Amino acid sequence: MNLFRHAQFYTTVNHLKDLPTTTAEIAFVGRSNAGKSSAINTLTNHTRLAYVSKTPGRTQHINFFELTNGGFMVDLPGYGYAQVPEAIRRHWVTLLGDYLQTRAQLIGLILIMDARHPLKELDKQMLDFFAVTNRPVHILLSKADKLSKNEQIKTLSSVKKALQPYFARQQVTVQLFSSLKKHGIDEVNQIVADWFDQ
Ligand code: GDP
């Protein structure tokens, strides 16, 4: 079953205290401009389910979408946008950290990283935040179409190598993804379906 196709918008919230009651959910996080909204739109086969930002870092709310199995997909605000004032940035990193560590029904995390700039400091921080939950993380190396076939193979391998220390403490998987070419959709769907089945 394709979990993402025909996903429906459910609700949007600005504060953790307003999070809706759900059964099980997966969350999408990533640096601002990493390609998160495009990935969500590609996976769900919508052109505008998630808002692709012209101004990175502008959307700071948490969007919920209902998947075809009754589970939920959560679009978290992008982090790391340089032009956001420090206080606001810190507020959102804390909020993200709180959500990742305390949301009981969060069964797994999809972390989007631009394949050309993987594993930035804040990405590692997100992995650290999430590690305490013992829940799996699946990394999408997005915009893979911007790399040659050879660079794609090299990037995948070097990211896996850099993740070695993380494998010891949490379940981390990684794949190449391209919203432009619609590559990698089945792989994500399979991973997420397994999370819901566990
Ligand atoms: P977000 O801030 O993480 O939600 O990133 P967006 O989805 O808004 O994408 C940021 C920019 O990267 C936009 O200009 C997108 O068109 C572009 N982009 C996203 N995914 C891809 C992709 O798979 N291939 C290419 N070539 N560009 C992409």
Kindly provide the ipTM of the predicted complex, given to two decimals. 0.99
Taking residues 40-53, what's their average pLDDT? Answer: 78
Q: What is the pLDDT of residues 122-156, one digit of tens each?
A: 899 899 989 999 999 999 999 999 999 999 999 99
Residue with tokens 């566990």: 198
Question: Which residue has the least CA distance to atom 28 on ligand 1?
Answer: 143
Share of the chain above pLDDT 90, in %: 68
Q: What is the pLDDT of residues 154-168, one digit of tens each?
A: 999 999 999 998 888
Q: What is the pTM of this model?
A: 0.94
Question: Which residue has the least CA distance to atom 21 on ligand 1?
Answer: 143
Residue with tokens 């660079």: 151
Q: What is the pLDDT of residue 133?
A: 93
Ligand 1 close to Cβ of residue 183 (< 6 A): no
Question: Which residue has the least CA distance to atom 2 on ligand 1?
Answer: 33
Cα 17 to middle of ligand 1, angstroms = 30
Cα 36 to middle of ligand 1, angstroms = 7
DSSP 11-41: EEESSGGGPPP-S-EEEEEEBTTSSHHHHHH
Q: Which of 107, 4, 24, 1 is nearest to 71 (CA)?
A: 24
- Give the residue, 152 or 63, on which the prediction is more confident: 152
Which of the listed residues 38, 53, 140 should we mutate to test ligand 1's pocket, taking the one with most ligand atoms within 8 A of CB? 38
Quick one: pLDDT band at residue 92, thresholds 50, 70, 90? confident
Q: Which of 44, 71, 109, 40 is nearest to 196 (CA)?
A: 71
Task: Write 75-78 long-range contacts (CB < 8 A, 24+).
Answer: 75/27, 75/28, 75/36, 75/37, 75/40, 75/50, 76/27, 76/28, 76/29, 78/29, 78/30, 78/31, 78/32, 78/33, 78/34, 78/36, 78/53
Share of the chain above pLDDT 70, in %: 94
Mean pLDDT, all residues of the chain: 90
Quick one: pLDDT band at residue 53, thresholds 50, 70, 90? low
Cα 67 to middle of ligand 1, angstroms = 22
pLDDT higher than threshold 60 for residue 54: no
Q: What is the pLDDT of residue 139?
A: 98
Q: How many CB atoms lie within 10 A of CB 109?
A: 25
**Angle at alpha carbon of residue 195, lines to 69 and 166, rounded to 5°:** 150
Question: Which residue has the least CA distance to atom 8 on ligand 1?
Answer: 52
